[in-house]
Amino acid sequence: MEISSHQESPYRLPPDVVKFRDLVRRIVREELIPLEREYLPHPGHALGLKETLRLKAVFGKDVVDHLVKISRDTGLWYSMVPEEYGGPGLSLLARAVIMEELNYSAVPFPVAVVANILYECKGNQIDRFLKPVIEGEKTTCFAQTEPNAGSDPGGMMQTRAVKDGGHWVINGTKMWISMAAESDIMMVQAVTDPDKRQRGGITMFLVDRHNPGVHVVEPGIRTWHGTRPAQYTVHFENCRVPEEDVLGEVGKGFGLGQRWLMIHDRLLRGPYALGKMQRALDMSIEWAKQRVTFGKPIAERQAVQWKLVDMFVDIQALRSMTYEMAARADAGEDVRTEGALIKLCASDWGTRCIDHAIQIHGAMGESLELPLTLFYRLLRHTQIGGGANEIQRMLIARKLLR
């Protein structure tokens, strides 16, 4: 059997998934990759910004409108949305396949980005919060992390919400909140019962970012991911939130947060890394074949060949794991530990893969004309963001030793 650098899944994907995959693959190569030369050196894009905002920060209205039109005309805009809200109701496996293809390019593609827990909206919350987010009219951010409550949010969270008549009053500080300054809706976790905490004492609130009790510290926290900050510190000072703006049930907010992290920041880190890893491998193979040193292509050097093989092995292993775990989640299995496993491997192997690609490219690997340094920074962040990899190992060990 011939082995290509871009192997398909270890089993045959359903026809509807293949259809979406092929469509996205064509759009990425025809529409997004040609825009990278302008996108990559631009200071406007930043880690944490939603796709459409990153596009608007770099390109003119004509480019953004063109990509949004493609997304809406092809139906990809709603590809991650459940059927009851106008989407195709794709499985998590299908979403993972689509995400992998989208992450092959550094240029983002505009689609409806909806936190999975926002589908817990009830009553008038659906029209006020959920539907505007689906249509791209409003954006959200997730506010859990605090200055002293990163890896142990349940035990160390200090932000409190106290009932006052028909309102809850929130006081506290959140930190490292992506999109805080750009969002319209904040999904805020606060302690409502200090004795119970993560076991029934933390509640999730939908907070209008323009609420007078919300203060986003600007210009934000500067990191190596770009000159434009996209993470912020947020102070809540006597922030009054109507009781009808509780997301889910009172005291059940910690579980909602973990569900968001399990899928978005853990299991879906697999396709997030895979697209970048596959692009890096494809670029490295092409470069190795045409880059000549001492009279022959570096593809003939064993040192380079072994790096390519290591990259290929990591990609194949991660893709198989990711597809399996997504399929198991679709089947209704509890994949909390498996999500930690995917996040751990995607971030460690992804960072290693891009590091190999940069080394193979030499000085060109550090050029902003190529996406490799951006890919590296983004994947290196995933070893910390969404729960540090040390925490993922603790979660996996807990299941092994149970």
Between CA 67 and CA 79 the distance in angstroms is 15
In a domain, 341, yes or no: yes
CATH code (residue 194): 2.40.110.10
In this structure, the answer to whether residues 308 and 210 fall within a common structural domain is no
In a domain, 98, yes or no: yes
In a domain, 1, yes or no: no
The two structure tokens encoding residue 26: 């064509």
Mapping DSSP to helix (H, G, I), strand (E, B) and coil, where does residue 75 land? coil
In this structure, the answer to whether residues 242 and 273 fall within a common structural domain is no
In a domain, 10, yes or no: no
Domain that holds residue 234: 140-247
In a domain, 338, yes or no: yes
* Beta-bridge partners for 292: 297
The two structure tokens encoding residue 320: 């198989």
CATH code (residue 72): 1.10.540.10
In this structure, the answer to whether residues 393 and 306 fall within a common structural domain is yes
In a domain, 132, yes or no: no
The two structure tokens encoding residue 63: 């480019």
In this structure, the answer to whether residues 232 and 177 fall within a common structural domain is yes
Distances in whole angstroms, Cα of residue 8 to Cα of each of 22, 97, 319, 347, 352:
12, 10, 9, 21, 22
The two structure tokens encoding residue 138: 């409003």
Q: Kindly give the confidence (pLDDT) of every residue in the chain, 402 residues in length, as a single tens digit, with 9 standing for 90 and above.
A: 345 555 554 457 888 889 999 999 999 999 999 999 999 999 888 877 889 999 999 999 999 999 999 999 999 999 999 999 999 999 999 999 999 999 999 999 999 989 999 999 999 999 999 999 999 999 999 999 999 887 788 889 999 999 999 999 999 999 999 999 999 999 999 999 999 999 999 999 999 999 999 999 998 998 887 777 889 999 999 999 999 999 999 999 999 998 888 888 899 999 999 999 999 999 999 999 999 999 999 999 999 999 999 999 999 999 999 999 999 999 999 999 999 999 999 999 999 999 999 999 999 999 999 999 999 999 999 999 888 999 999 999 999 998
In this structure, the answer to whether residues 311 and 382 fall within a common structural domain is yes
In this structure, the answer to whether residues 389 and 283 fall within a common structural domain is yes
Q: Please give the tally of structural domains in the chain.
A: 3
| Contact by Cβ (8 Å): 358, 366 | yes
In this structure, the answer to whether residues 277 and 382 fall within a common structural domain is yes
In a domain, 324, yes or no: yes
In a domain, 160, yes or no: yes
